[in-house]
Structure 1
Amino acid sequence: MKFEGGDEDDKIISQVEVASSGDAEKVSSSRFMSLLASKDRDYLLSPTGSQVKVSDLEGHVVGLYFSANWYSPCRNFNPVLSNAYEQLKASQSNFEVVFVSADEDLSAFNSYRSSMPWLAIPFSDLQSKKALSHKFDVEGIPCLIILQPGGHKEEEVLRDGVELVHRYGVEAFPFTRERLEELEREEKEKHENQTFTNLLSSHDRDYLLGHHPTTGQVPVASLVGKTLGLFFSAQWCLPGMKFTPKLISIYHKIKHVISQRPGVEDFEIVYVSSDRDRASFDSYFALMPWLKLPFGDPKIRALARHFDVQSIPCLVVLGPDGKTVTKHGRSLINLYGEDAYPFTEVRLESLHRQMDEEAKGLPKSELHAGHRHELTLVSDGTGGGPFICCDCDEQGSGWAYQCLECGYEVHTKCVRAAGGASTVGP
């Protein structure tokens, strides 16, 4: 997480504030006025469209929310922030959010703002919105900048509010350095002490659900000693729906290999659903041969926060002792298939060396049927790295064929000649 101090004006304000508590209140109010008001406007818009004085933000922790209706990550984050905001308001906290719109027209602004329970800078005030984006160096949206009340020099601007709300929810409030360091310590302790039981059980449930009509309850305790995958997905998620058949195939292959090797730890997967209704949940899980958490179970949100799952599909792999092995199971399966099991560092190092050896026999460049430019073989150390394959739309890392002109990138196994056949790889 990043903390950054204010500019020179903020330093001057800080010096003035230490003079007296009365002066500090005036400076604090002046700071919000200089940021959020203009020469023609001293108010913000409420959710109902009424005017709220900028000076009313005195004493509040303020989140500047840079967002737009046309961008799906913003629309996805909006309900997450709304939920945290409503909880904080219900607890009488001094938290407020101000929407800084990047919408393309007034109609889109009004439509998007109708889903927001907080304040907004008027759409017509383009100058103020540009000034805020410039001051806080906003390079991407959604972006949540947190400002503390007052303005003393030891108080700092927090720029990764989106990540923190995703990760900690209302527990991040009041977004101070001390609070976030405390949460990091607590999170580290939780990861060090995590077990299958405290991850997957609750006070009124010590089981998971399977497909058997009469013996569908599977004790969480029975998973101890197995390698476990937590599959975060949802039926509405197209990448999740596309990845699921591959995961099912790999699951069966891993189970088959284990059955042929006595003494090897068993493998299981648990579906952690983000489905929006039970019908979608039931129809999606009907495709899966593994276990699930009950629909709407509170542990679902807790697990997403614990493992900082910000996008789906995601496959988190736990070792037989319940400790985290990797949060990149999806990428590893796309890269290595069933050979990735049991996903440990030792296993992955062996596979990486094997891939490096195989890459020595690959052509240094290829013409791919799906792209007009020549593709160059790259690795992590020669300009490659984690990517989304432009041919199969799945994650990849390590060796790839990349277009040095436009960044187009594909798995080595996805390269196809003009006739459609694979030219390299298995």
Structure 2
Amino acid sequence: MSEDFLKSIGNELYYSEGERVSNTTDVMSGKKTVMLYFSAHWCPPCQRFTPKLVEFYNALKEGGKHDFELIFVSFDKNQNQYKEYTSKMPWPCLPFGSESIQTLGRKYGSGGIPHLVVLDDKGDVITDEGVDGVTLDETGERYPWKPKELSELWPEKVLTKSGLVDSSTLDDKYLMLYFSAHWCPPCRKFTPVLSEAYTKLKAERDDFELVFVSSDRDQEGFDEYFGEMTFCALPFEEREAKSGISKKFGIQGIPSLLVLGPVPSGGGERPLINKSIRSFIEDGDFSEFPFHPKSYGTLDSAGGDINDEKCLIIFHEYGDDDDQQEIIDVVKAVSEKCKSMSDMKFLWALNPSGFAPRVRSAAKLPAMSEDPAMIILDIPDKGGYYTSEVTDITVENVVDFIKNPGERKQL
């Protein structure tokens, strides 16, 4: 395993059998894969899944597979729960209260538990759907459940306005994938904006294509919706491809828009450039194509980022245009000043609808206010958050809040 990954684990791992502690480097020596099991004694689904995981782990070990390990990452609330829970586990565990728990949770965790992620020897994710893997592959015959590559999932043909064409004609182009459906009101609202953007961008450059990946419920809905579009689509009958592609990129809601690079000249897989480019399209500024990710943006366009990363959010939904522009400028400046914080997003919330009311409610902020407000939302840290009493939003004040956020609160 890589040195960086071993450092993220910490120096010692705990075994309940004999209540012994072992050196992490020794435990992980020669291992090609590792499973991180995020779980807790107080969680009923975890209690149901853990016995299955024990059987799976023992079966792999007894079957002669020794080039893997599993490490328990505890979300238990106290040491007694931790000891009782780990007494049932044959694998190494992070010590209770280890600082590595927060680090690993932020990098590899999810919004819920049980969560089982499989990593390679570099610490890169092979799959974060290990719970499904254990459930569907009890003997571990297909472990480590490496997902299919996009090239294996992608159909041979794509649908254009003039008919079907070979997918290979897109190999040398950037590829935007638009996950959407006729029945979805936010999609219907965004699609005309996207079609107009596509037409404008095509007038400037021809090194990209946009493909609609449909979640429509029937062919009739697909046909009507595709008729409103100016770009390509996966044929509606390619349901298996649609499902596999959506799963590969972790699409959990629509509309969703991502961009991939061209197929490398020597062959291989398209690189994922940005998983969420909707905000670029809505802003109407296409000068930064292919839209490499930024550490800042709107709360509404952040999507799943707020579940996966620590986020600074500054609200000013009822400010005038000048006030709101000042907020945007401050957030951008802060993101530049704090660019070493690769695990943090810097967001502004200026829309009185959208996500802002929900986040305000969750953080127990007033539903409406003429003054700006700022919070740090840290969902990966078990739903933690921090609030500031400061309403004078300057770069200095925001940076100070990030460095000294005060009391941690719980969603």
Query: Normalising by the residue count of structure 1, what TM-score does the alignment of the two structures yield?
Result: 0.44
TM-score by length of 2: 0.45
Higher radius of gyration, 1 or 2: 1
